[in-house]
Amino acid sequence: MNPRNLDQLDSIIEVYARQLDCQGKRSLGTVRSVWSCLREKLEQCVIDRAGRYILSDEQLTDLVKAFDQRYSSRAHQWLAKHTLNLILFKLEKEEVIETKYVKVPHQVPRTLVATLDGITPTMLAGARHIRRFLKNNRTLEPPGDWRWGIEVWKCLLFYTSVVLDSFILLPSLTQRLFSLQREDLKERDWILLPQRGRREEVDQGLRTLIRFSLTPSTTQHLKNLLRVVKLPKTRERNTRRRLFPDDWRTRKWRNRILRPAWEEFMTQLMRNTPFQAAEISMDSLVHVGTVLALTENLPPFAVAVHTAQTLVSPMTEASFNRLFLLKDWQGIENPRSQRPRVNPRQLASSYGSDGELFQQIELARQGLHREEPDARNIRREMACHIGQLVGVTERELATRPGDFTSLGYNTRCYGLWLIHLLMGKDDNGTVSTRASAIAAGFFPYCAEMPFHSWDKADWVSNVAGAMEEHATSHAKASFCRLDDFLVEVGLAPKLDIPWQAKALTKPLAQQPVPLVGPEEFDAALSATCSSVIPVEIRRLLRVKMILGFSLGLRSMEATNMKLKQFVVYPEPVIEIRVTKTAAGIRNLHLSKLMPVHHLKEVREFYEHRLRETCGNLEAPLLATPTHPEPYDSSYLASLAGLVLREVIAEPFCFHHLRHSFASWFLLRWLKAVKPCVFDGVKIPLFEHKIFHEPLLSGLRQLLFGLREPKIGEVAFSHGLVALCRLLGHSSPATTLSSYCHTVDVLSSLILRKGII
């Protein structure tokens, strides 16, 4: 093989750099800069007989030293080294280089919450002066020469306090505030606003209202404003009634009245101070407020939520009322009338021999795990086994579809598609995710009509139904891959399926999530003795629920855990190895995360299982002598959801235990690093053991090790990154947007100094 010259490699790397840039992984400049350094080393490399450049260990070490000298910050050094690994992997894949890789820690590139562009020290000092002034003068009246009316004066006081004191920093903030309805202020000291979009989209179900805390100062300025605002009188008490005049929402009013009034307003606030009124404009106020929020020790991830850089899902109104406002504690009145939800895959048993074939294919597929050391051979054997179950090839199935029932045809199509995935380049986690998305909605959506007879409308309606069953963003992508395969091998006609149809589009609204409180969870554990829970698995179910609530485990992770993954000495640790993605592989220190009584129960169950299995460490943790194999994960999860709904009147499922773990972790982190903000807070939730020693000390060890935190490390600690690793996520952005539903409470505790 003739070696590729460096000019050819230049073109390969340029294409790769543009690909990384489009994906948002690396900028063009970073890749080009690192490649220029690597290119110099390749000019000195030996080329073997296969035409590959041999990059020696010494040359690789020299590259690392060069990066350390070139870049002053550790963040840029890490970025350069990680980019080098990406380039080396690309070249090795192209079979043009033989090399080792640079050892760099796994990190996620950070995004800037705010920049200092255009922000001067005097602007920040002026903003601090205004903040103190508004907090100390809550009934400030306009000067005698004020010509814009009392409503405008009070409006500007409220708006400025919202930004600089409550740090609500949303885009188009004036428009959002002037669109407030009566129902958006139904709880004292809280305000409901959409992070993105218009208030009208909330009424249409397209957006979700997010809860923001108002400081006492901002609350008073809001009351002062509402007293002077004049609205047309109406006899009916309409909760959707606007709080402010309609013309306030027009651009004309804001340009002709509000902006000119702002200049005079700032002149009054800056009078007798060294600050210039013109330094802070109405447009720059939110930017100044963002920087001020960071300097006031509001965590960067909370500022990202307050600025709508990260869209989050709130907790449900019922959970907020129950856990923080101490309202509506009653449970479901008739819990024993409930029955576990039947998993769609279990419906296969009612479909005869074709249903049994589907079950056999699924049983074979569920043996695919990420940690397999010889994954390629195992996948090949699995594909051969599924091929034997299916009994036909793509060509044979396409030429005689009439020999099979609708379900028989579709089941064999599914099996052949699985073989295609197993023999492809997707990793084990992707194959499992794609397959589970199809399997979750296979019954009834794929059981009534063969794929070759589906038209566009059938695809849209059936995929929409399956998306509800799987409840993830992967469902549509999986069906799209399935359709591509069926068309390619002639098992379905080529159709212009409208994959962007409204029915297949994920709603913009961030759906509220119910949370389980610690006391409620203990009550749910007691409810496992319900008559609808089989006696032989009650103890097992309790342990699985504890693993979900106290450690944040996924249902599948808890169900597939083996005894060997529970390490008892020198301290109890659970090793998660069978998981959704590579980022999910992690070790969890039990004594630092779960209360003593939960740890005791899990440990006793582990020792009980050791005796049952005669010390067989390969045996599953969650099993019984009569059922030595792992239980169906969805079956146990449905039972857990049943128990939770028996105690709390909300639509809970097992996965909400994971959400609860993440949400309480944020508040536990705050209690561990800044306990003073909890002084004077009288909420029973914070009296639970998870918010007290020794768990707080254990949490501090997870965050900072055995040393004392450095100056400034507490306020800007890596708490969110630690939670990301505990949950097994690849990015903290996923953790924050989808699992942290208590950012509003955390911000309230910090901003209002523990007064909630």
For 545, the token pair is 């629920």
Cα four-point dihedral sign 245, 251, 257, 259: positive
pLDDT in tens, 235-280: 555 657 889 999 999 999 999 999 999 999 999 999 888 888 888 9
More confident residue, 582 or 693: 693
* DSSP secondary structure string for all residues of 275-302: S-GGGS-TTTHHHHHHHHHHHTT--HHH
Question: What distance in Å separates the CA atoms of residue 209 and residue 308, rounded to the nearest whole number?
Answer: 12
Per-residue confidence (pLDDT) for residue 633, from 0 to 100: 85
pLDDT digits (tens, 9 = 90+) for 589-635: 999 999 999 999 999 999 999 999 999 999 999 999 999 988 888 88
Return all residues near 393 (Cβ < 8 A) that are at least 6 apart: 416
Which has more confidence, 530 or 580?
530
The residue-averaged pLDDT of 398-424 equals 91
**Angle at alpha carbon of residue 88, lines to 87 and 91, rounded to 5°:** 85
CATH code that applies to domain 130-232+241-309? 1.10.443
- DSSP letter for each residue of 314-366: PBPHHHHHHHTS-------S-GGG--PPPPGGGGGGGGHHHHHHHHHHHHHHT
Q: Is 530 left (phi over 0), alpha (psi -120 to 50) or beta?
A: beta
Residue entry with tokens 């309230």:
748
pLDDT exceeds cutoff 50 at 331: no
Residue 528 has pLDDT above 90, yes or no: yes
> Using omega within 30 degrees of 0 as the cis cutoff, is the peptide bond preceding 694 cis?
yes
Residues sharing a CB contact under 8 Å with residue 367, sequence separation 6 or more, in sequence order: 382
Summarize the confidence of residues 713-731 as an average pLDDT.
81
Neighbours of 129 (CB within 10 A): 16
Tell me the per-residue pLDDT of 663-710, one tens digit each, with 9 for 90 and over.
Answer: 999 999 999 988 888 988 889 999 999 999 999 998 888 887 767 766
Specify the pLDDT at position 336.
34
User: How would residue 107 be classed by pLDDT, with cut points 50, 70 and 90?
Assistant: low
Say what the pLDDT of residue 410 is. 92
Amino acid at site 691? F
Specify the higher pLDDT residue, 636 or 106.
Answer: 636
Nearest to 222 by CA among 264, 197, 193: 193
pLDDT at 203: 80
Residue-wise pLDDT tens digits, 369-405: 655 555 678 888 899 999 999 999 999 999 988 889 9
Cis peptide before 628 (omega within 30 of 0): no
CA 524 to chain centre: 25
pLDDT at residue 155, rounded to an integer: 96
pLDDT for residue 287: 94
The single-letter DSSP state of residue 425 is S
pLDDT higher than threshold 80 for residue 332: no
Residues counted in the chain: 756
Q: 485-502: per-residue pLDDT in tens?
A: 999 999 999 998 888 887
Q: Please provide the DSSP assignment of 648-679 as one string.
A: SSS---THHHHHHHHHHHHHHHHHHH-GGGGT
What residues contact 98, with CB distance under 8 A and at least 6 apart? 48, 52, 53, 54, 55, 92
Tens digit of pLDDT for each residue in 339-380? Answer: 444 454 555 666 788 888 888 888 888 777 655 555 678 888
Q: What is the pLDDT of residue 105?
A: 66
539 burial (CB, 10 Å; 0-12 / 13-18 / 19+) is middle
Q: Is the pLDDT of residue 659 over 80?
A: yes
Kindly indicate the confidence band of residue 465, based on its pLDDT and cuts at 50, 70 and 90: confident
pLDDT at 96: 85
Find, among 323, 347, 348, the residue nearest to 408 by Cα: 348
Can you name the residues that pair with 620 across neighbouring β-strands? 562
What's the mean per-residue pLDDT of the chain? 86
Which pLDDT belongs to residue 635?
87
Interval 201-222 mean pLDDT: 89
pLDDT-based confidence at residue 756 (cuts at 50, 70, 90): very low
Residue 233: band (very low, low, confident or very high) from pLDDT cuts 50, 70, 90: low
pLDDT for the residue numbered 355 = 86
For residue 368, what are the CA distances in angstroms to 381, 568, 572, 689, 724? 11, 27, 28, 39, 25
Looking at residue 631, its pLDDT comes to 86
Find the mean pLDDT for residues 416-440.
85
| pLDDT score for 597 | 95
Percent of the chain past pLDDT 70, that is, above it, reads 89
CATH architecture for residues 544-756: Orthogonal Bundle (1.10)
Cis preceding linkage at 121, omega within 30: no
